[in-house]
Amino acid sequence: MSGTQLPDRISGLDLYRPEVRSLPAYNAGISESMARTRYGLARVTKLASNENPFGASPAVIEALKGSLGQIYRYPDPTCAALRDHVQRLTGVAAGRVLFGNGSEDIIEMLCKAVLSPGDRVVTLAPTFGLHEIFPLMMGAVVDKVPVTADFEYDLPAWRIALSRPAKLVMFSTPSNPVGCILQAGQFRELVEAAPPDALLVVDEAYHEYAARPDYPDSLELLSAQSRPWMVLRTLSKAYGLAGLRIGYGLGSDAELVSVLGKVRTPFNVNCAAQAAALAALSDTEYLQAAVCATSRERSVLMERLKALEISRGFGLRMAPSHGNFLFIDTARSSRAVAEALMRHGVIVKPWLETGFDTFIRVTVGRPEDNEHFQDALERVLTAWKF
């Protein structure tokens, strides 16, 4: 009996959506353990992911210990205790608060719920990679507005970009990776220039580090808008919970949060993250101490790098930063610089975005971490100069 003729094996390329096939990969970097193994390093300083080098509050550790007895249970899908706490902190009604597996999870929800193929998205350049990748995943067209030569928001260029229809307008302040902010008047100008039917998404992942008089109260300014909007915040940075993955969104209305819930996985925030977040948000004293220490070290590192450039003339340029990182133009391939620094035991993030591929983003660490980076950078650039 003759066997049935089987079809040729179907190629995966025939199955994948074209938008997905062409997506750029997110640059998640390399871990400390991988760097040690690959380069045979005894000491590794990781300054690539904008983590809080001082760690989480001791109250978080105690909360995690207390949560261990409940790990056999599914987590609360509504994050009710956290929602109530965020309502007290922000004044935003609990029904307008949404939690995610990091704030990037909420960015993905927004794109899934709002964007269709061909929709236009306006964002910043350079930008956090997922501000571009998730819209592209949905088939949207992404227009990026570059920062000025002084590394600030280019408001005239934003007005031009926003004069055309857009489905979603997404920007960060402080911006990632540059560190610039929109002052209150600029924030108002950008929002008012946006198409009236566009969804506004304001990513405030680093807002704790930008405590200054001209930093806008986005919730107050957006409350006058009749359009839908969402402000994103995270506990991965200043609160030191990067390994637990939790962030939240503050929405214009409960309907927006309800719609996003339809594209959210049911238990997207685990029980340990919920317990840790509640403890972290409650320990404001620890948060302020960590933020102040980082801001102080940021100023010291910037001054030392400026002095290094004056004395050695390497061609370095730095963007003024209101985050817990520095965006540095090395005048050389960012990938080559990052590779050379890694051989000296320092992990930084090479920026690979078109037009900014000579820049590295460097997290502000503890004093000894920053000294390690400065020393390694001087060694690397000296070896290349002569």
Q: Render pLDDT for 39-49 as a digit per residue (tens, 0 to 9).
A: 999 999 999 99
Question: Among 283, 309, 326, which residue terminates a domain?
Answer: 283
Same domain, 255 and 367: no
In angstroms, the CA 224 to CA 187 distance is 13
Is residue 75 situated within a structural domain? yes
Same domain, 259 and 292: no
Same domain, 42 and 159: no
Same domain, 207 and 298: no
Q: Render pLDDT for 240-288 as a digit per residue (tens, 0 to 9).
A: 999 999 999 999 999 999 999 999 999 999 999 999 999 999 999 999 9
Nearest CA to 342 out of 362, 366, 320 is that of: 362
Same domain, 242 and 303: no
- Return the number of other C-beta atoms located less than 10 Å from residue 178's C-beta: 28
Same domain, 40 and 131: no
Torsion of CA 54, 56, 57, 58, to 10 degrees: -100
> Which amino acid, one-letter code, is at 250?
L
Is residue 249 situated within a structural domain? yes
Number of compact structural domains in the chain: 2
Is residue 99 situated within a structural domain? yes
pTM comes to: 0.94
In angstroms, the CA 281 to CA 285 distance is 10
200-229 average pLDDT score: 94
φ/ψ (deg, to 5) at 42: -90, -35
- Are 221 and 184 in contact by the 8 Å Cβ rule? The answer is yes
Question: Among 249, 266, 283, which residue terminates a domain?
Answer: 283
Same domain, 302 and 202: no
Question: Among 283, 311, 341, which residue terminates a domain?
Answer: 283
Same domain, 170 and 205: yes
What was the pLDDT predicted at 307?
97
Is residue 298 situated within a structural domain? yes
* CATH for 293: 3.90.1150.10
Same domain, 85 and 109: yes
Range of the domain at 149: 58-283
pLDDT for residue 6 is more than 80: no
Least confident range of 61-65, 207-211, 322-326: 207-211
Nearest CA to 132 out of 156, 113, 109, 107 is that of: 107
* CATH for 123: 3.40.640.10
Q: Render pLDDT for 125-139 as a digit per residue (tens, 0 to 9).
A: 999 999 999 999 999
Same domain, 153 and 203: yes
Same domain, 274 and 355: no
Is residue 334 situated within a structural domain? yes
Is residue 140 situated within a structural domain? yes
Is residue 3 situated within a structural domain? no
Is residue 11 situated within a structural domain? no
Q: What percent of the chain has pLDDT over 90?
A: 91
pLDDT band at 7 (very low <50, low <70, confident <90, very high): low
Q: Render pLDDT for 147-179 as a digit per residue (tens, 0 to 9).
A: 999 999 999 999 999 999 999 999 999 999 999
Same domain, 73 and 218: yes
